[in-house]
Amino acid sequence: MMLPRIGQIIRLNFTSSSEETELQTFKSRVADLKEDVASIELPTSENTGRTGVFQPGTECLVWYVGEDGSRYEFRSAIVGRQNNHIPVLLLQLPAKEEIVRTQRRNYLRIDTTVDIAVKLDDPIRRYHFLARTLDISGGGLSFSCEESYHLKEKDNLHVWISLPSKNGQVQHAFVVMEIVRQKPAEEKGLHQWISGKFTQISEQDRAKVVRACYERQLELRKKGVVD
């Protein structure tokens, strides 16, 4: 897999800092590379343009676009700070097998079950119900639900997603999803299958979903379920 290069623009979502920082995507640039550590410029929030306080040990999800046009991401942590010509943070680089590549518009899809709340605003079909995903990615998800909910392709659903993390905390993301496929139940009493793509999602919430998929993939990899 492709490590970031010197001069590479990277984005970071911090996972163990303040709640305010947690909700933001930070932008930085790789200033230097030495063995397993990258020196990066002080990250600035894409929301406010301000930097933050990032102590050694602060964990983050790092993502960037490689020369091949693919998106690369990995989990990392701040391991130090230096003040040479400019102040920089020291970012731990992963082993190459820990880097996940996803196409820019084809996010990593993981078979996993998370809780969601679904709402359909329709003059007749005013549904609001709970369900569980079958799979999820940064670009869409699928879930099953009772056939009493008469859903069809092109319906736009408001979906609230609960995303558990490895540290035990639960993150929440909101998306608007268009149904692209509806599969009826094979037998009476079974659930229908719904699959859709995200048509509205903030970059902060997409980062949360991508991070959850990444953590789930690493968990499955450690168990030997995936390569």
Q: What is the pTM of this model?
A: 0.56
Calpha distance 72→183 (Å, rounded): 33
Question: In this structure, are residues 145 and 157 in contact, taking their beta carbons and an 8 Å threshold?
Answer: no
CA 138 to chain centre: 6
For 163-182, b/e burial (b = at least 16 CB within 10 A) is beeeeeeebebebebebeeb
Residues 156 and 180 reside in one and the same domain: yes
| Rg of the chain in Å (alpha carbons) | 20
Same domain, 210 and 170: yes
Name the domain count of the chain. Answer: 2
**Is the Cβ–Cβ distance between 4 and 30 less than 8 Å?**
yes
The amino acid occupying position 102 is T
Residue 2 lies in a domain: no
Among 70, 103, 136, the domain-final residue is 103
Please check whether residue 24 lies inside any domain of the structure: yes
Q: Are residues 70 and 127 in the same domain?
A: no
Q: Bridge partners of 3?
A: none
Whether 94 and 119 share a structural domain: no
Q: Kindly give, in sequence order, each residue whose CB lies less than 8 Å from that of residue 4, ignoring residues fewer than 6 positions away.
A: 10, 30, 33, 38, 62, 64, 72
pLDDT in tens, 61-103: 898 877 666 778 899 999 999 887 889 999 999 988 888 877 5
Return the pLDDT at 130.
96
**Residue 125, domain CATH:** 2.40.10.220
State whether 119 and 217 are in the same domain.
yes
- Domain limit, last residue, from 60, 78, 103: 103
Tell me whether residue 109 is in a domain.
no
Measured distance CA(181)–CA(194) in Å, rounded: 6
Output the domain CATH number for residue 32.
2.30.110.10
120/227 Cα distance (integer angstroms):
38
Domain-located, residue 110: no
Q: Cα separations (Å) of 49 from 24, 39, 78, 196?
A: 11, 20, 20, 34
Mean pLDDT of the chain: 85
Q: Provide the residue range defining the domain that includes 217.
A: 115-222
* pLDDT tens-place string over residues 135-153: 998 889 999 999 999 999 9
